[in-house]
Amino acid sequence: MLTIHHLNYNYPDFTEKVVSDINFSVQKNEIISIIGESGSGKSTLLKLIYGLLDFQEGEISYNDKKLKGPSYNLIPGHKMMKYVAQDYDLLDFVTVGENVGKFLSNFDLDLKQQKIDEALEVVEMSEYKHIFPNQLSGGQRQRVSIARTLSQQPEILLLDEPFSNLDQTLKLTIREKIIKWCKAHQITVIFTTHDLSDAFYTSDKILVLEKGKMIQFDEVENVRNFPNSEYVARLFGYVNVLDKEETSQLNIQTTDNAIIYPEEVLITDEGIFEGKVMESKFQGRDYLIKFLMNDVNLVAYHSKKFKTDERIRFNILKFRPL
C-alpha cells in the first residue's frame, strides 16, 4: 500500500506551496486519477511520489517503508515504480522495439522479445517495432513510452497525461487495453488527466486537487454524485450552481447553495416552471439548452433544438446541497 501523509512541497526559491498537506492511501491494483485545474499541482504530486523532488514536510511510504527524495538516492526514482512524463524521453537512434526493451534484462532474449511484443500490442504499436521514433507522431511516441514502462511490469505506474495525444477513437481502445493489462498484472496506476472521461472510465477513485490541496478523494461515482464544492462540480462540465435566493425560486428546500446537473433538469410540456430559451447548442448526442427562469440562468439537455426566446416548461428532478 502507498501512503501519503501530510505532504507539503514548494519549489526551491518559491515560498508558495504547490502541494499542501496532502493525505491519501492507494491500495495494490487500484487505479487513481488525479484531476484539477491547470497548475493545481498534479504533475508535481506525481514527481514527488516517484522521488524526483525532495518534499519539505510529510511522509510517503510504500508497504510501510519510508520513501525519500533525490537527495537520498543515487539514482532518482523508486525501483518499484515507473513514471511516464509528458516529454516521452525516447532514444531516436534505436528502434521502437529497442526503446521498449531498453531496461529489460538480456539474460533471456526470447523472454525480452516476448515482453516487448506484448507491451507494443497493448498500445497497438506492434507494426512500428522496427521504426525509429523520430518517424513517429506525438501520440505514437507517447504510446511507445507507455509500452516501455509496461514491459518492465512495475508495481506502481505513474502516468502524466497518458492519453493526451491520442485521438478519440484510438483513445477509447488503448485506454481500455492499458487499464485491463494493469489490472491483470496487479499494477497500481496513478495518472493525471484533463479529460473527465479518462477519470470515469478507467479509475476506481478520483483525487481532486485545487491550488495544491486535495479537496476530494473518493470513488468515481461518489465524486460525481456528491461533489463537495462548486470547484469539483464544475470539473465535470456544465452544471447549475444556484445560490439560496435562486433555489427558493425553484421551490428547492435547502438552506445551502445547490448544484443541479443539466440532466437533472427535465424539459417537458408538463413542467411546473417556465423558462425562456437563450441558446440551443448541439453536443453530439443531444442539445445543451441554456435558458432563463426570471433571472436564474439554467442549463439542461434535450433531444430537440429550441429557438431563441422560445418558452419552455421544465421540472427539477434532483438537486444536491452544497
By the criterion CB under 6 A, which residues form the site for ligand ATP?
Answer: 11, 14, 18, 36, 38-44
Do 195 and 202 meet the contact criterion of CB atoms below 8 Å apart?
no
CB of 238 to ligand ATP, least distance (A): 21
Minimum distance from CB of 192 to ligand ATP (Å)? 6
Nearer to ligand ATP among residue 132 and residue 231 (C-beta): 231
**Residues 6 or more apart from 270 whose CB is under 8 A from it?**
313, 315
Residue 175 phi/psi, 5-degree rounding, is -55, -45
Long-range Cβ contacts of 249-253 (<8 Å, 24+ apart): 249/293, 249/294, 249/296, 250/293, 250/296, 250/316, 252/316, 252/319
Question: Which of 7/312 has CB closer to ligand ATP?
Answer: 7
**Alpha-carbon dihedral 158, 86, 150, 1, rounded to 10 degrees:** 0
Closer of 15 and 38 to ligand ATP (Cβ): 38
Between 44 and 216, CB nearer to ligand ATP: 44
The bridge status of strand 240-242 relative to strand 258-260 is antiparallel
Contact 288, 280 (CB under 8 A): yes
- Which residue, 229 or 257, is less far from ligand ATP as judged by CB? 229
Contact (CB, 8 A) for 70 and 54: yes
Which regions of the chain does DSSP assign to beta strands (E)?
2-9, 19-26, 31-36, 57-62, 65-67, 81-84, 156-160, 188-192, 205-210, 213-219, 240-242, 258-260, 265-267, 273-282, 287-293, 296-302, 311-316, 320-321
Q: Taking the complex as a whole, how short is the minimal distance between the CB of residue 14 and ligand ATP, in angstroms? A: 5
Q: How far is the CB of 73 from ligand ATP (least distance, A)?
A: 19
> Least distance from C-beta 150 to ligand ATP, angstroms?
23
Can you name the residues that pair with 46 across neighbouring β-strands?
none
Shortest gap between Cβ of 191 and ligand ATP (angstroms)?
Answer: 12
Residue with smaller CB distance to ligand ATP, 36 or 154: 36
Nearer to ligand ATP, 162 or 275 (CB): 162
- Is residue 314 within 8 A of residue 265, CB to CB? The reply is yes
CA angle 289, 281, 200 (to 5 degrees): 85
C-beta of 119: minimal distance to ligand ATP in Å? 25
Closest approach, Cβ 105 to ligand ATP, in A, equals: 33
Toward ligand ATP, which CB reaches closer, 43 or 315?
A: 43
Report the alpha-carbon distance of residue 104 to residue 126 in Å, rounded.
17
